[in-house]
């Protein structure tokens, strides 16, 4: 007999991957440039020069054990560099001893959840949320509870109060957000933290805030994302270099436990234990060395910024209702019919691949990933126009 839940994760494809697979088949059929594939969040801008230079230099300079095992927690120099980088932006002092280098945010989140959850404990996610949170939660024996958004797609804090329970162990925030591009304001984070502190006092146990931050540097209007450690003591950050350095296939990121967290050393030991139990021996060795040299560096954001304007202005001028994205590289479009899946299907008629929002925990939207060429966005506008006409916009 096979475990049913695991079988189900293996069989049920993510709606994003399914649409991307449809796109690949359709492109082979009618030509690459005929399909407007907005399905995947695969960075389209090149890695910064510093990354390529670091790789070449490392490979040419006979670094001992360059491809060898590293300590499970990561190379000491990299952990120090990550702590120094965080300490440039945060008031709470972050210790290198509480940094665990891991294989991207996905591995970080799965490890953090497995580290902290007892069977049946609850994980609160704010809709709309990254669909894999459900798999990571259930994979760690937890139960996902969803909080609805307000009109501006910030969390509805009244609903948050109601969803919190004695069983809540973890709360996940993701800012800038996939799929909406929304950044949580400092005011929201402060109120959320106050609610959490009250809940900890009420229930008499620690509640951990897991901050999923792969898009932290992808902000377009100047104001940096507030440092989460400065709001709440029991915070665990899951960071990834997948988007900030366009390295998603290289699988590199880190988990940072706040030096103000309850039982911080044991929490860190649980993270290490969870990663060990899942067979993560260490994050890729060459990449650890590359990141140590390139920390603080970010991809050129100008293409994403241009794409955001092109797409948002184009869609608004056609009569679509969209959320203006402050960060990440996603635009959330309110579908002119309530059924997002039906809208996404109809968009396919015009070769537009838009991800329906249902798996993100809300209905009535599609996600448009604008990490594509600006030319594709320009070329897609007649298709969007034809789609808008179907709805009398």
Cβ closer to ligand PLP: 240 or 380? 240
Cβ contacts of residue 115 below 8 Å, gap of 6+? Answer: 267, 270, 271, 273, 274
Is residue 325 close enough to count as binding ligand PLP by CB under 6 A?
no
**Burial environment of residue 124 by CB neighbours within 10 A (0 to 12, 13 to 18, 19 or more):** buried
Cβ contacts of residue 317 below 8 Å, gap of 6+? Answer: none
Cβ closer to ligand PLP: 149 or 253? 253
Segment lying near ligand PLP (by CB under 6 A), choices 26-34, 67-75, 103-111, 315-323: 103-111
Cβ closer to ligand PLP: 79 or 251? 251
Binding pattern for the stretch 301-320 against ligand PLP, x by CB under 6 A and - elsewhere: --------------------
- Distance between CA atoms of 301 and 137, rounded to whole angstroms? 32
Output the smallest distance, CB 125 to ligand PLP, in A. Answer: 11
Restricting to residues 159-198, name those near ligand PLP by CB under 6 A.
174, 178
Long-range contacts of 132-139 (CB under 8 A, 24+ apart): 132/14, 132/106, 133/109, 133/172, 135/9, 136/106, 136/109, 136/110, 137/113, 138/5, 138/9, 139/9, 139/110, 139/113, 139/114
Is residue 248 close enough to count as binding ligand PLP by CB under 6 A?
yes
Please name every residue paired with 147 in a beta bridge, in sequence order, or none if there are none: 126
Is residue 105 close enough to count as binding ligand PLP by CB under 6 A?
yes
Segment lying near ligand PLP (by CB under 6 A), choices 63-71, 104-112, 119-127, 260-268: 104-112
Is residue 104 close enough to count as binding ligand PLP by CB under 6 A?
yes
**How many CB atoms are closer than 10 A to CB 142?**
23
Is residue 214 close enough to count as binding ligand PLP by CB under 6 A?
yes
Q: Do 191 and 232 form a contact (C-beta atoms < 8 A)?
A: no
In the block, residue with structure tokens 């915070």: 235
- Distance between CA atoms of 332 and 369, rounded to whole angstroms? 9
Cβ closer to ligand PLP: 39 or 174? 174
* Residue 132, helix vs strand vs coil: helix
Q: Which of 146, 242, 244, 335 binds ligand PLP (CB under 6 A)?
A: 242
Output the smallest distance, CB 104 to ligand PLP, in A. Answer: 3
Give the number of residues in contact with ligand PLP, rule: CB under 6 A.
Answer: 13
Please name every residue paired with 333 in a beta bridge, in sequence order, or none if there are none: 322, 366
Output the smallest distance, CB 137 to ligand PLP, in A. Answer: 13
Is residue 86 close enough to count as binding ligand PLP by CB under 6 A?
no
**Region at 268 (left for phi over 0; alpha for psi -120 to 50; beta for the rest):** alpha
Binding pattern for the stretch 124-163 against ligand PLP, x by CB under 6 A and - elsewhere: ------x---------------------------------
Is residue 353 close enough to count as binding ligand PLP by CB under 6 A?
no
Is residue 234 close enough to count as binding ligand PLP by CB under 6 A?
no
Distance of CA 390 to the CA centre of its chain: 33
Segment lying near ligand PLP (by CB under 6 A), choices 20-28, 100-108, 145-153, 281-289: 100-108
Is residue 244 close enough to count as binding ligand PLP by CB under 6 A?
no
With CA atoms as reference, report the closest residue to 300 among 44, 48, 54, 42: 48
Q: Which residues bind ligand PLP (CB under 6 A)?
A: 41, 104-106, 130, 174, 178, 212, 214, 240, 242, 248, 253
């Amino acid at each position: 007999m096979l475990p049913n839940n695991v079988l189900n994760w293996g069989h049920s494809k993510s709606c994003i991957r399914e649409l991307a697979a449809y796109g690949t088949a359709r492109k082979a059929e009618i030509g690459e440039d005929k399909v407007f594939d907005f399905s995947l969040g695969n960075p389209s801008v090149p890695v910064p020069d510093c990354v390529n230079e670091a790789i070449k230099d490392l490979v040419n300079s006979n670094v001992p054990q360059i491809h060898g095992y590293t300590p499970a927690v990561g190379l000491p120099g990299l952990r120090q560099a990550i702590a120094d980088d965080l300490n440039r932006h945060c008031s709470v002092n972050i210790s290198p001893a509480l940094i665990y280098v891991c294989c991207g945010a996905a591995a970080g989140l799965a490890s953090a959840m497995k580290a902290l959850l007892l069977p049946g404990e609850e994980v609160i996610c704010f809709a709309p949320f990254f669909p894999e949170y459900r798999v990571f939660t259930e994979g760690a024996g937890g139960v996902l509870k969803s909080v609805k958004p307000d009109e501006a797609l910030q969390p509805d804090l009244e609903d948050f109060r109601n969803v919190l329970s004695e069983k809540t162990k973890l709360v996940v925030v993701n800012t800038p957000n996939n799929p909406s591009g929304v950044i949580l304001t400092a005011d929201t984070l402060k109120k959320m933290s106050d609610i959490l502190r009250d809940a900890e006092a009420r229930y008499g146990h620690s509640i951990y805030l897991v901050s999923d931050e792969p898009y932290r540097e992808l902000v377009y209007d100047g104001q940096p994302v507030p440092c989460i450690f400065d709001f709440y003591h029991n915070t665990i950050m899951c960071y990834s270099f997948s988007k900030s350095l366009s390295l998603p296939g290289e699988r590199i990121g880190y988990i940072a436990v706040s030096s103000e967290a309850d039982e911080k050393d044991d929490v860190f030991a649980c993270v290490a234990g969870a990663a060990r139990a899942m067979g993560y021996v260490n994050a890729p060795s060459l990449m650890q060395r590359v990141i140590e040299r390139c920390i603080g560096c970010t991809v050129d954001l100008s293409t994403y910024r241009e794409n955001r304007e092109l797409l948002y202005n184009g869609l608004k001028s056609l009569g679509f209702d969209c959320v203006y994205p402050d960060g990440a590289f996603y635009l959330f479009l309110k579908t002119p019919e309530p059924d997002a899946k039906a809208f996404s299907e109809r968009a396919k008629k015009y070769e537009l691949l838009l991800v329906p929002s249902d798996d993100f925990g809300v209905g009535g939207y599609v996600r448009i990933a604008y990490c594509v060429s600006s030319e594709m966005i320009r070329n897609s506008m007649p298709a969007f126009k034809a789609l808008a006409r179907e709805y009398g916009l």
